[in-house]
Structure 1
Amino acid sequence: MDQSSERDRIIDAAYRALAATGGTSLSVNEVLRSAGLSTRAFYRLFDSKDELLLALFRQDSDRVAARLRRAAAAEPPAAALLSFVQAMLRITADPRRRQRVLVMSSEEIARAKGYLTERQRYHALVQGELVHILERGRADGTFPLAQPTSDAGWIRAAIQHAFDEQIAGTAPATPNETAELLTGFALRALGAQAPAIS
């Protein structure tokens, strides 16, 4: 078995183990037993449990970022913004994805050395996609009031707040309704009109 396959097996087993404990703890021995691999295989691929946890977080955050990048590519820019917000909030409506979010934000992962840096990297990826949408909209006149770098930060913060409410089950509306309301608010602030909602 090649190292890439071993790495995938360990990461998958780590996710299952974390999900089983509600994200409160992770035993490397349990992970290896579940993956059918040795301690030697683990230390050939990871320096520590923290490195494994960060690899798990990075894998998931990169998947989300790729999904958001595809949503951000929609045309025109106003539709891209709506698509982006919908893609983010719909994660909370899918039970399997929602479970992954809860595991990725668990105590065990948050305690890993280097977690804050990894989380900041993910937020920078998300914000970068928003900046790109806003730059496109400013360039073609869709967002006449846009200041892409600063506005992207505010919009990302609003999306994160809505996302957290959806995850916590305290949101006053469904993910789709929230996405439409939030996008409408952002578009008004940017001097644009909301795209037609289908």
Structure 2
Amino acid sequence: MTEAATEPAWRQRAVEKSTRAAKLRAEQRVQRFLDSAQELIGEKGTTDFTVQEVVDRSKQSLRSFYQHFDGKHELLLALFEDALARSAVQMREAASAETDPLRRLRAAVELLYMQSHPDPGVQRPLFSDFALQLLVKHPAQVATAHVPVLTVLTDLIEEAADSGAIPSGKPRRRAALVMQTVMFAAQAHGVPADGHGHPVDSGEIWRFCLGGISADQASD
């Protein structure tokens, strides 16, 4: 018999309760660090703050900070991942308001475009500064951070293909191409590469992406 099997049930329950309590406390400490960093970004309009400022703002210890994060980079990465996870949730909610699979996909694509489009009145240094640094120095971390958004688009493309609205074939690869197209176009302020003509809007982006994912995939 294993040691776990011979332990009294009360002991197992006590250990599990203690573990859950410790996990909850750790999650609360982490959230205070994240909230404090987000407040500093909002006040400064930049990611140029120190770990000590975050620690002081959170009213926690430096030792506690380094128990949860290796340093400032990992803290900013957590904020970046959290922002993209929230974006994915909002995309799924927008899609759920539609019943037609193609309209569900369109709702998600257009919302992603609007989420990614810079607002002149709102500073988003996590995306304008930190994300660019990540892309150059840590591309694998960028890919991991975008997984929630990629998953939503993959699911919706699969649903549209299953319904016959678009041809089937490599939904995750299509989703990656759609995501990159939408986000890059949005971050370029919707201005065409030639600098002429009307700015690109979410409807035009959707029609462009639909043309790509509806094309003949015989070469897949």
Q: TM-score, normalised by structure 1?
A: 0.74
Within 5 Å, which residues of 2 pair with 1:1-198? 2-73=25-96, 74-92=98-116, 98-100=122-124, 102-107=125-130, 110=133, 115-144=138-167, 147-166=170-189, 170=191, 172-173=198-199, 178-191=201-214
> Which AA in structure 1 matches 2:92?
R
Gaps of 5+ in 2: 1-23, 193-197, 216-220
Gaps of 5+ in 1: 193-198
Identity %: 25
For 1:188 and 1:68, the matched residues in 2 are separated by 21
Aligned-residue offset at 1:28: 0.8
Measured at CA, do residues 38 and 64 of structure 1 come closer, stay the same or move farther in structure 2, by a change above 3 Å? same
The answer to which structure, 1 or 2, has the higher relative contact order (CA under 8 A, 6+ apart) is 1
Say which SS state the counterpart of residue 49 (structure 2) adopts. coil
For 1:149 and 1:45, the matched residues in 2 are separated by 32
Say which SS state the counterpart of residue 187 (structure 2) adopts. helix
Measured at CA, do residues 116 and 94 of structure 1 come closer, stay the same or move farther in structure 2, by a change above 3 Å? closer
Structure 2 equivalent of residue 196 of structure 1: none
For 2:174 and 2:47, the matched residues in 1 are separated by 36
Structure 1 moving runs of 4+ over 6 Å? none
Larger Rg, first or second structure (1 or 2): 2
Aligned-residue offset at 1:78: 1.3
Q: Kindly indicate whether the alpha-carbon contact (under 8 Å) linking 1:77 and 1:137 is maintained by their aligned counterparts in 2.
A: yes
Q: TM-score, normalised by structure 2?
A: 0.68
User: Paired residues, what number?
Assistant: 185
Structure 1 equivalent of residue 13 of structure 2: none
> Which AA in structure 1 matches 2:115?
I
Aligned-residue offset at 1:35: 1.7
Measured at CA, do residues 97 and 80 of structure 1 come closer, stay the same or move farther in structure 2, by a change above 3 Å? farther
Q: Kindly indicate whether the alpha-carbon contact (under 8 Å) linking 2:116 and 2:183 is maintained by their aligned counterparts in 1.
A: no
